[in-house]
Chains A and B, each alone.
Chain A
Amino acid sequence: MSVGLDIRLKRANKVYHEGEVLAGVVVISSKEAVQHQGISLTMEGLVNLQLSSKSVGVFEAFYNSVKPIQLITSNIEVVKPGKVPGGKTEIPFEFPLHAKGNKVLYETYHGVFVNIQYTLRCDMKRSLLAKDLSKTCEFMVHCQPQKGRLQPSPVDFSITPETLQNIRERVSLPKFLIRGHLDATSCVITQPLTGELVVENSEVPIKSIELQLVRVETCGCAEGYARDATEIQNIQIAEGDVCHGLPIPIYMIFPRLFTCPTLETTNFKIEFEVNVVIVLQDDHLITENFPLKLCRV
């Protein structure tokens, strides 16, 4: 005898905002009636902070800061102990989404050192002979639209051997001129990062041009902090020796879950940057970095 336990949220995209009601049904399906000791639902929102290995030594002292931060929690009993009849049973539920105390519901974010996650778990307790059943589903929280108008902040850039830093032998560098612009470095998270890039000339043919989206996560508190930058995704926008003088679009969609509006709290920070990476055929690698500010409007 198998029992299916499932949670179906009303919204297909599972996106909710603070103050809204998280609604859905618990679906129990079974051929025969199911005896149980009660069915309960638990909603929880957590911020998990991890320390990178290089930081562990420094931070052992204040492990407090890496304790998960609970943003919201709620538990209800859906059905009292009893029997669920055979077939498919749908039990509707609703949770109001209100943060604990003076906390704010941060936007769902899946990073490396910082994770902000909201889950809904359904537990069916059963007699000793049968295993308890449990089903977890994640729902997404989008933070409230930020107030105030977003100022478009276009950035022009021009990359030549002379503009580079961190190079060992400037002499051995081939000549090149790459110009372009980003339409904005203050980006709306639902809108793509856009711009243009022109290879005006290059002594050595281009091998590849890529956009590298980087997350910069900072964990810490008053005593100190750990800051780590890791790649989220890398999008190639040019492959091979592209036509000189012809603008190539810079276009990158911010991946869902892996990005969120730039966030700064007392315990952690989540920031984003984009690197325009130019690889020459002689494997010279040229990177231009742009800090981004993401927001939701």
Chain B
Amino acid sequence: MSLPFLRTHCGTVGARMWRDLGLAVLVLLSAAVESNSTSPPGKPVLLSCRSPEKETFTCWWEPGSDGGLPTTYRLYYERERLEGVHECPDYWSAGSNSCFFNKTHTLIWVDYYLTVVASNALGNATSDIFKMDVMEIMKPNVPENVTLLVVETEDSPYLHIRWEHPRNTDTESGWVTIKYELRIKQEKNNKWKEYMSGTQSHFSLYSIAPGGVYTVQVRCKLDHGSWSEWTNSTNVKVPNYVQNERSFWILVATLSAIPFMAAMCILIVKRENVKQCVLPPVPGPKIRGVDFHLLMSGQSEDSTNALIINQNFPLIVGWKDQMEEYLIVTENDIGPPSDASHCQKRKKSLIIPAGFCSDWEIQCKSTHIQNDCAGGTKNETGNFPKNNKSLSGESLSYMEPSKLQKQQCLGQNFVNTEATDPSPLNYDNAVKPFTNSGYVDIRKHVENTQEVNVKQVDYSRVEDVNGDNVFILNNKNLAFNSSGYMDFQRQEEKLSEDYSRVKEVGSNNVVVLQIQDMSADTKNPHATGAHKMGVCTELINSEYIDTIPAPPLM
């Protein structure tokens, strides 16, 4: 029973033994191998060279594997302007794996070609050639003795920082130019602020915060070389000093700024009022009833019309006085016009100018007027006498508009817009003069016209009426405008002025009036001779008979 057990047990024990034996053999072998493997050294590598003051320099290398044997390293160099290969003069001053070249062995502006050779019993290994010029490898030591000082002046304290040049650099002969740089950090901030200091070995920092702790570091460089390391940090604490005075003024300024700002806001908000107060508007010139812009826009017709129309002539007052001054020009022989009634009524009626008629849809423009009481029915409504009325034998000087009555239209004022025949000869046929009398209304223009260039219209009183002719003798106030218009008052409507021109005085004492546009009138030459009233005989052909537009119906 125990036999198989024994056998397995023996088996495991044997395996273990074999295993251990194998291990031991392996260990022995490896030990032997190790102790036997030596090789030539690995290739060293030249790391860098450095000159702290431009008078000496040091080079470092890194050794490769030493191959298990003691290895020596030698540095050889060749140099421009120097024959042969030379060995490093000093292996120890700068530490292990380094070579130090002192002043006698250092030349600037010449190339050095360095190699390091590692050698042991089995062989050598040579590094790559390292070419350098002392001019390129300059890196100074750190500056020394950095001191910080808080200088308290009246206005504000500042920080004064001093240091010294690194010990071995000779800055006085001009051989090297040293430049400094420093960086400052406040305790709370983690950010450094850097400043260049040039060749000065001191620096002042203004506007420092009282109560703050400042940390300063300095470094330097030679000529165009590399920067040195930073010095160790130096700290200083700025004492809290009393700033009462300044804070007092700040408080005062703030407090006074508030009402100032408020005042400004109010001013700005109420700027309109302020403007009114400070710069009151200057009233510009103004003409009552005239639209300045209309005037400026240059529509002369309308504007002059407006000028005239908008004048509030005291029509009523003046008119009343002159209501009786009518001159009715009639033709005795001719039968009464069909509208005889109309004509008859006109004893005291005003001669209603054609303008009035326009109110009743009579266009007051026609080529001629026909003195036809009856004929002018074309456009007339009830009250209107015929347009074609011609003065019989007389010439009318003007018409007077009646504000009150505009029913009657005397023929002479009216324009027959639909004159049947505009030929001047027409009148002969169509003339049916009034029977009795025609009024020629000479209105005395009251001096109530405004300052506008209203045409001064004056009326003359008819002194005498001859049977055939009308003589207007009284010309005292007669004043015509330059164009010879006798201008009547215009009402508020924008009625164009209608002037009738006496076209011709016929043989039968018929005055043919020609009513045209004002514009047309202006173009027509005026015979000015007759405008100065008084010479009645010249009331021919060139008289303008002003047709007054119809006043508005009451």
- Our verdict on whether A and B bind, yes or no, reads no
Chain A interface (Cβ < 8 Å from any Cβ of B): none
